[in-house]
Copies of this chain bind each other. A is one copy, B any other.
């Protein structure tokens, strides 16, 4: 049995009797290398090919990368007609062979390609980086979403919870990693090392990150935690330079005040919920007096929503900086409890995240984030989401299945105080669950 065509040539080049150089292989189009990798009989030849493909990919221009992803999207797609035929055959005779043929045909070839590429040393990071490129193309080339779906499918499998390792980040952490924390912080910018020190070093502060075994020096996501007495209502107070540090054993509340995803290329692979759950667990074990786990979160979509209400006097006053704290909190509560996307889920992305994790809307605070960013997105308002022990699974299911937004009595009262006095008919009616 001889292999014909380009693959035979290529293999001769690759492993041939010394006649052709490795350089010869390098001159072949990357598409050929990919097909060769898919055709290679086993893992033996695969490593060299996979490394060569990554090397080639790294050197490509944006246009070349687009062409490459288009190749994956079209040439390594499923053959629908073949699948239809094999499905028919399997429907008629459920043999192992028919099953195997169907399953193989129904999986796009690029999935197997990604898996084979993943054998190379350092491949995980290479693939995650390639996906960043792909994500940047989707808006202009939405058909590439098919390839992205396969990407996500595999990344979810490889970044499965079982592989993640939690690590505490503190002042004993290496400068190299701390630099990345500074760079990746997405919520409240870390200005310099002194600022970082204030967030990591005091004994009433904690930071935890998830890592993956194949990218041991790259945090995937991290959360910054403040240990406090009572639920705080202002990020300024929480991060103040000269605030008084309390003893961890005196704290009753753990405040998740910043959660940052670090890897763009892992969009769609969710870590946040697992991280919060595990941090709750670790802190509960270490500090048994903690009884409240709560966030202090931004409301990134508030101002955008207010601007959709030009006829609402209170919205206008709030945007104009003329609202009282009571009025402001009323609008924020209404936004969080009532403003919905067409699919019925909350408008606010941070709300979707925490409610989806099983948290509830606990309180809203005016004047809580007076930074330029905080004023610009939410007129300085912030929100606490509460993770209540023993309630998160039920709330998660209610939220996911029925879109119910769990909220505290006081937040609902704030939202109602607003409603009586306004005609914001656009807002869909709340399906709030009577949570507390």
Residue numbers of A with Cβ under 8 A of B are 1-3, 11, 14-17, 40-45, 47-48, 77-78, 80-81, 83-84, 87-88, 90-91, 94, 96, 99-100, 102-103, 106-108, 115, 118-121, 123-124, 142-143, 145-146, 149-150, 153-154, 156-158, 160-163, 165, 171-176, 178, 192-193, 196-197, 200, 213-214, 270, 273-274, 277, 356-358, 392-394, 396-397, 400-403
Q: Enumerate chain B residues within 8 angstroms of A40, measured Cβ to Cβ.
A: 397
Q: Enumerate chain B residues within 8 angstroms of A83, measured Cβ to Cβ.
A: 83-84, 87, 90, 102, 106
C-alpha gap A274/B175 in the complex (Å): 28
Scoring A87, A153, A178 by chain B CB atoms within 10 A of each residue's CB, the highest score goes to A87
Can you list 19 A-B pairs, Cβ within 8 angstroms, ordered by A?
A: A17-B394, A41-B400, A43-B274, A44-B397, A78-B99, A80-B91, A83-B83, A83-B87, A103-B106, A103-B150, A115-B160, A119-B161, A119-B162, A154-B157, A158-B160, A163-B214, A171-B174, A173-B174, A174-B174
A193 CB to closest chain B CB (Å) equals: 5
A71 CB to closest chain B CB (Å) equals: 15
On whether A402 and B78 interact (CB within 8 A), knowing A119-B160, A178-B175, the answer reads: no
Q: Enumerate chain B residues within 8 angstroms of A1, measured Cβ to Cβ.
A: 401-403
Of the candidates B107, B150, B174, the one whose C-beta lies within 8 Å of that of A106 is: B107
C-alpha gap A402/B393 in the complex (Å): 57
Q: Enumerate chain B residues within 8 angstroms of A91, measured Cβ to Cβ.
A: 80-81, 84
Report whether A78 and B96 are in contact in the complex, using a CB–CB cutoff of 8 Å. Answer: no
Each complex incorporates copies of this chain amounting to 4
On whether A157 and B115 interact (CB within 8 A), knowing A96-B146, A106-B102, the answer reads: yes
Report whether A149 and B87 are in contact in the complex, using a CB–CB cutoff of 8 Å. Answer: no
Q: In the complex, which residue of chain B has the Cβ closest to the Cβ of A98? A: B80
Q: Enumerate chain B residues within 8 angstroms of A396, measured Cβ to Cβ.
A: 15, 41-42, 44-45
Q: Enumerate chain B residues within 8 angstroms of A149, measured Cβ to Cβ.
A: 96, 99-100, 103
Q: Is the interface of A mostly helix, strand, loop or mixed?
A: helix
A140 CB to closest chain B CB (Å) equals: 15
A435 CB to closest chain B CB (Å) equals: 12
Q: Enumerate chain B residues within 8 angstroms of A150, measured Cβ to Cβ.
A: 103
C-alpha gap A45/B398 in the complex (Å): 11
Report whether B106 and A15 are in contact in the complex, using a CB–CB cutoff of 8 Å. Answer: no
Q: Enumerate chain B residues within 8 angstroms of A165, measured Cβ to Cβ.
A: 213
C-alpha gap A273/B380 in the complex (Å): 59
Report whether A44 and B392 are in contact in the complex, using a CB–CB cutoff of 8 Å. Answer: yes
Of the candidates B90, B145, B156, the one whose C-beta lies within 8 Å of that of A115 is: B156
Q: Enumerate chain B residues within 8 angstroms of A173, measured Cβ to Cβ.
A: 174-175
Report whether A45 and B90 are in contact in the complex, using a CB–CB cutoff of 8 Å. Answer: no
C-alpha gap A160/B91 in the complex (Å): 32
Q: Enumerate chain B residues within 8 angstroms of A156, measured Cβ to Cβ.
A: 115
C-alpha gap A108/B96 in the complex (Å): 13
A185 CB to closest chain B CB (Å) equals: 15
C-alpha gap A1/B399 in the complex (Å): 10
Report whether B78 and A103 are in contact in the complex, using a CB–CB cutoff of 8 Å. Answer: yes
Report whether A393 and B121 are in contact in the complex, using a CB–CB cutoff of 8 Å. Answer: no
Q: Enumerate chain B residues within 8 angstroms of A153, measured Cβ to Cβ.
A: 103
Q: Enumerate chain B residues within 8 angstroms of A192, measured Cβ to Cβ.
A: 193
9 nearest CB pairs, A to B:
A106-B106, A41-B400, A15-B394, A80-B91, A84-B87, A44-B396, A83-B87, A213-B213, A15-B393
